Amino acid sequence: MSFFENAIKQINEAAEIMKLDKDIVTILSHPKRILTVTMPVRMDNGEVKVFEGFRVQHNDIPGPYKGGIRYHQQVDMDEVKALATLMTMKCAVVGIPLGGGKGGIIVNPKELSKRELEQLTRKYVERIEAFIGPEIDVPAPDVNTTPEIMAWIADEYSKLKRKNQLGVVTGKPLEVGGSQGRGDATSQGGCYVLEEFAKERNVDPSKTSIIIQGFGNAGAHMARILSGQGYKIVGVSDSQGGLYCEAGLDVAKISACKAEQGSVTKCDSICTNGKVVDNEGLLASQCDILILAAFENQVREDNANNIKAKYILELANGPITPEADKILAGKGVEIIPDILANAGGVTVSYFELVQNQMNYYWTAEEVQQKLHPIMVDAWKRLSEYQKKYSCTLRQAAFVSAMTRLEKMIKARGIE
Ligand code: NAD
């Protein structure tokens, strides 16, 4: 089953549970607009190379389309369509007035010079200019796209429009209209949700161990915040492997060591009896909560049975395959799904857009004061749907999103 087919399957499953109107299911199963563009770039060796890119706009009933742009050699239309669909659901889960979109360019950015990457980005903006804008479609960073790339997008779009249009894109550096709190928003939002979940399940942080797969941007911030709340972080990993330490890891020391050595696998000396393991070994290690913060498809049919955690929080997008989802449900493992757990990122992106449009900026404290109630309310809605329909949290998240979308679509009229 393709990634997009799987997203549609999740919509159908939840629709069945909530007895959703078939017309709404049909609408939500089709992206509104699909763009394919090509960008010729003169490379540093003098040759012209043509790159292919996409932008998918899934639904804009709640507000402008919103979703990142991915630069990767394996990006394809199916993936972009799936991620755009999930963005519509994610924004609806947290109840922010944005729809879902996603973009991508087939490129390995590590093979391009900075000048080539900037040319490619500016050409992409030129190609999709008519279809984006602060009130139309607002891209953001995703895999391999950085705040610097977002600044180029804002600059190019503003030049084309002959006026400052910083709200065309989010995830920008602070000096180009970025928001306070965007750097750790995804992890902070995930922690607010986990806090509510822990209260409902009587989880005591001081007696709870956590493994985090993926000690990158999202995973490292998550480790820092959770260890500050008293949780014991017993394992972390990156693309080179993992480090397990039953006694608990000092997160500040791990961060410093990874920055210096390049991988957590070189940091076993900072922990008594620290064990370097491969990624499969880390996923199968003992812990109470497993946080998936690396990439998609990490827990699959072949390794789901090895998981020992009682709870999983998906900070990454789509880290568990549908087959693994079923196996884990059978084992009684509860999963806090991606479209809620990592929605803090898009929520602060929304704040960035609002601040750009007002041209008035909030402090880091104000951002947290606004983020916290949004995440808590979203959790409460989801928890109620879970109880009402006796379903999984993932199904409850789709029910929560589609309940909101149905009302909006019907209020505006289908025809
Ligand atoms: P990142 O590139 O900063 O971090 C990813 C980390 O995962 C890196 O440390 C990498 O070494 C590690 N990794 C790669 N393959 C691995 C493997 N097989 N096992 C263990 N570790 C592995 O990316 P990020 O921004 O932290 O994003 C991580 C995930 O969270 C992605 O799925 C992303 O889509 C999702 N996400 C991120 C944000 C955000 O704001 N950063 C928002 C929403 C969703």
Regarding the beta carbon of 213 and ligand 1, being less than 6 Å apart is answered yes
Q: What is the pLDDT of residue 280?
A: 96
- pLDDT at 338 exceeding the cut of 80: yes
Mean pLDDT of 117-136: 98
pLDDT at 295 over 90: no
Beta strand 48-59 with 33-42 is: antiparallel
Q: Are strands 241-244 and 232-238 parallel, antiparallel or unpaired?
A: antiparallel
Average pLDDT, the chain: 96
pLDDT in tens, 77-90: 999 999 999 999 99
Complete domains list, the chain, with CATH: 30-166 (3.40.50.10860), 185-332 (3.40.50.720)
Does the CB atom of residue 317 touch ligand 1 within 6 A? Answer: yes
DSSP state of 266: G
pLDDT of residue 296: 87
Give the bridge partners for 311, in sequence order: 289, 334
pLDDT above 80 (res 415): no
Question: Nearest C-alpha to atom 33 of ligand 1 is from which residue?
Answer: 316
Asked whether residue 1 carries a pLDDT value surpassing 90, the answer given is no
pLDDT tens by residue, 231-253: 999 999 999 999 999 999 999 99
CA–CA distance, 179 with 170 (Å, rounded to integer): 8
What is the residue with the minimal CA distance to atom 9 of ligand 1?
216
Question: Quick one: pLDDT at residue 2?
Answer: 87
Per-residue confidence band for 140, with pLDDT thresholds at 50, 70 and 90: very high
Per-residue model confidence as pLDDT tens digits over 25-67: 999 999 999 999 999 999 999 999 999 999 999 999 999 999 9
Q: Give the atom of ligand 1 at the shortest distance from the alpha carbon of 213.
A: 20
pTM tops 0.85, yes or no = yes
Report the pLDDT value the prediction gives residue 414, as an integer from 0 to 100: 80
Residue 360's pLDDT band (cuts 50, 70, 90): very high
The letter for the amino acid at 321 is: T
Buried b (16+ CB within 10 A) or exposed e, 239-271: eebbbbbbebbebeebbebbeeeebbbbbbebb
Residues of the chain above pLDDT 90, percent: 95
pLDDT confidence tier of residue 272, bands split at 50, 70 and 90: confident
Nearest to 206 by CA among 223, 229, 230: 230
Average pLDDT over residues 367-382: 98
pLDDT bucket at 329, cuts 50 / 70 / 90: very high
Calculate Rg over the CA atoms of the chain: 21
Confidence class for position 402, pLDDT limits 50, 70, 90: very high
Residue nearest to atom 1 of ligand 1 (CA): 216
Per-residue pLDDT reduced to its tens digit, 167-185: 999 999 999 999 999 999 9
Ligand 1, from 86, 184, 211, 239: best to mutate by most atoms within 8 Å of Cβ?
A: 239
Going by pLDDT thresholds of 50, 70 and 90, the confidence category of residue 262 is very high
Q: Indicate the burial class of 97 (C-beta count within 10 angstroms; 0-12, 13-18, 19 or more).
A: middle
According to the model, what pLDDT value does residue 99 have?
98
- Catalytic residue set: 102
Residue 72: pLDDT over 90: yes
